[in-house]
Structure 1
Amino acid sequence: MPIPVIDFSMLNGQGRASTMDQIANGCEEWGFFQLVNHGIPVELLERVKKVSSECYKLEREQNFFNNSTPRKRLKELVEKKSGDKLENIDWEDVFLLSDDSEWPSRTPGFKETMMEYRAQLKELAEKMMEVMDENLGLPKGYIKKAFNGGEGETAFFGTKVSHYPPCPHPEMVTGLRAHTDAGGIILLFQDEQVEGLEILKDGKWIDVQPLPNSIVINTGDQVEVLSNGRYKSVWHRVQAMPDRTRRSIASFYNPSYNATIAPATELLEKENDEIKELDYPRFVFGDYMSIYSELKFLPKEPRFKAVRAV
Structure 2
Amino acid sequence: MSSNPDMASVQELVKSDPSQVPGKFLVNRNEEDEPKSVLSSKIPIIDLSLLSRGQKEELDKLDQACKEWGFFQVLNHGVAAEVLQEMKDATAKFFQLPLEEKNKIRMASGGFEGYGQVDGVTRGETMDWSDQLVLTLYPAQYRMLNSWPTEPEGYKEAIEAYSSEVKRVGEELLRSLSLIMGMEKHTLLELHKELLQTLRVNYIPPCSMPDKVLGLSPHSDASTITILMQEDNVTRLQIRKEGEWVPVKPIPNALVVNVGDAIGIWSNGNYKSIEHRAVANEGKLRISYASFLFPHVDVEVGPFDHMVESSRMYKKVKYGDYLTTALKNKLKGKAHTEMAKTGS
Please state which band the TM-score falls in when normalised by the shorter chain: 0.7 to 0.9
CA distance in 2, matches of 1:180, 1:55: 28
The CA deviation string for residues 19-39 of structure 1, in whole angstroms up to 9 with x for no partner, is 111111111110000001111
The equivalent of 2:332 in structure 1 is 297
CA distance in 1, matches of 2:100, 2:235: 20
Unaligned runs of 5+ in 1: 74-85
The equivalent of 2:130 in structure 1 is 92
Q: How does 1:123-134 map to 2 (within 5 A)?
A: 123-134=168-179
The equivalent of 2:242 in structure 1 is 202
- AA partner of residue 126 (structure 2): N
Which of the numbers 33, 40, 45 marks the counterpart of 2:79? 40
Gap change, CA 1:144 and 1:307, over 3 Å in 2: farther
Gap change, CA 1:69 and 1:140, over 3 Å in 2: closer
CA distance in 1, matches of 2:152, 2:158: 11
Unaligned runs of 5+ in 2: 1-38, 104-115, 138-142
Gap change, CA 1:306 and 1:91, over 3 Å in 2: farther
Give the SS at the match of 1:33.
strand
Count of residue correspondences: 279
**TM-score, normalisation: structure 1:** 0.83
CA distance in 1, matches of 2:292, 2:318: 18
The equivalent of 2:65 in structure 1 is 26
How far off its partner does 1:137 sit?
A: 0.4
Would you identify which runs of 4 or more consecutive aligned residues in structure 1 move more than 6 Å? 61-64
- AA partner of residue 137 (structure 1): G
How far off its partner does 1:265 sit?
A: 3.0
Kept after mapping to 1: 8 A contact 2:232/2:253: yes
Backbone CA RMSD of aligned residues: 2.6
**TM-score, normalisation: structure 2:** 0.75
The CA deviation string for residues 64-103 of structure 1, in whole angstroms up to 9 with x for no partner, is 9xxx889xx9xxxxxxxxxxxx962101110112241321
The equivalent of 1:82 in structure 2 is none
Which of the numbers 107, 116, 139 marks the counterpart of 2:184? 139
Kept after mapping to 2: 8 A contact 1:189/1:249: yes
Kept after mapping to 1: 8 A contact 2:315/2:342: no
CA distance in 2, matches of 1:212, 1:123: 20
Gap change, CA 1:109 and 1:27, over 3 Å in 2: same
Kept after mapping to 1: 8 A contact 2:71/2:259: yes
The equivalent of 1:162 in structure 2 is 202
Q: How does 1:45-60 map to 2 (within 5 A)?
A: 45-58=84-97
Give the SS at the match of 2:203.
strand
The equivalent of 2:280 in structure 1 is 240
The equivalent of 2:318 in structure 1 is 284
Which of the numbers 189, 199, 216 marks the counterpart of 2:256? 216
Gap change, CA 1:87 and 1:211, over 3 Å in 2: farther
Identity %: 32
How far off its partner does 1:173 sit?
A: 1.3
The equivalent of 2:5 in structure 1 is none
Gap change, CA 1:254 and 1:176, over 3 Å in 2: same
CA distance in 1, matches of 2:98, 2:260: 30
Give the SS at the match of 2:297.
coil
Kept after mapping to 1: 8 A contact 2:52/2:176: no
